[in-house]
Structures are given as structure tokens and as C-alpha cells.
Amino acid sequence: MAAAFTQGYTFAATEQVTNAKLHQLVTGAAITGIVNAECAAAMALANTKLANPYSYFTITICRDGQFTATTNPLAAFQMPFAATLVEVSCHARDIDRADADETYTIDIEEAGTSVLSSAISILADDVCYVGTISDASIADNAKIEVVLTCGGTSPAIDDITVLLTFKVLHCA
């Protein structure tokens, strides 16, 4: 029996590509039908050879409700393994601009130090903003914190979503 590759998702000609569909394409793929007799004894299989070279994953942080002051941390978690941060984006359903001096930023910190060139400013309702990463290498067991900073006379920001997209460190 010959080995076979099955893709995880098939895109239609006019279908919009989304993060979820790309994730399904990559993680749903499978190689089957390889038997021990087809493997050379000296092939030296290692985990890095078995792992999908495009092993990306996204951590979604959703905080419902209204925030009227700096919140540090807005969310926190510990990385289960080393990874490379490839994208950070954030969004808020509603921000108050009544006094015209309100400011809102999201920062991502690893062990208390920002991994972004500068915090991401949220300037309008229902707009997704992408940050610029300055330190992409995230250590195994690192504490990651999302920090919301609010400024101005009467800040109020509602329903925040932050997406952190990583690549497994040992991948090419």
C-alpha cells in the first residue's frame, strides 16, 4: 500500500479564506498508509520531521463588559511550550470618545516586558488593529499578559477581543 495525503479543507473558487479555514486546512491534513517496512532503519525520525512545518495556533482572548480604567492584566496565561509569536490583533465593540481625549491601548507582555514595538492603539469601534512585534520568541512556561491602558477624562471600552497567533518553535 502506498502512502496517501489527505488535505484538511477544500476551498471553493470564490470562497473567502479565514483564519479558521486555514487552521482547518493545516490541522485537518493527514498522511496515512506508511508501514514500517517502507521506512529505512537509518532514517532517524525526529519530532521536528514529524511535526507539520506550518503548525500555527491562535489564542483568542475575549473579555465582555465595560472597562473604564487601566487593567493589568486584562488576561494572563502561561505558555505550555516555546513558540514564535507571528501576529497580534485586537478589537473592541465600542469605545467612548465623548470627551475627545480618551485613549485605549493593548500591550502584550512576556514576563513583564512588552513584545510589541509599541502598544496597539484602538481608535474606533469595531475595527481590527494589528500590532508590530519586536520580540517574537516566546519561552517555554513564559507568563504572557494582555494589558489594557485607558486614558482621558472618562474612558469606557466594551467587549475586547485579542488574537495571538503563534508558530510552534521547532518548525521551519
Same domain, 37 and 104: no
pLDDT band at 172; cut points 50, 70, 90: very low
Task: State the virtual CA torsion across 163, 22, 3, 48 in degrees, nearest 10.
Answer: -30
Between 171 and 45, residue with greater pLDDT: 45
How many domains in the chain?
A: 2
What is the rounded CA–CA span in Å between residue 87 and residue 83? 12
Q: Does residue 47 register a pLDDT over 60?
A: no
Q: What is the pLDDT of residue 56?
A: 86
- Of all residues in the chain, the percent with pLDDT exceeding 70 is 69
Q: What are phi and psi of 58, to 5 degrees?
A: -120, 135
Same domain for 98 and 40?
A: no
The mean pLDDT value of the chain amounts to 84
This prediction has a pTM of 0.69
Residue 125 C-alpha cell reads as 469601534
Residue 49, in any domain of the structure: no
pLDDT of residue 32 exceeding 50, the answer is yes
List, for residues 155-170, the tens digit of each pLDDT value: 999 999 999 999 986 5
In a domain? residue 87: yes
Residue 22's domain comprises 4-44
Regarding whether 164 and 96 lie in a shared domain, the answer is: yes
pLDDT at residue 113 is higher than 90? yes
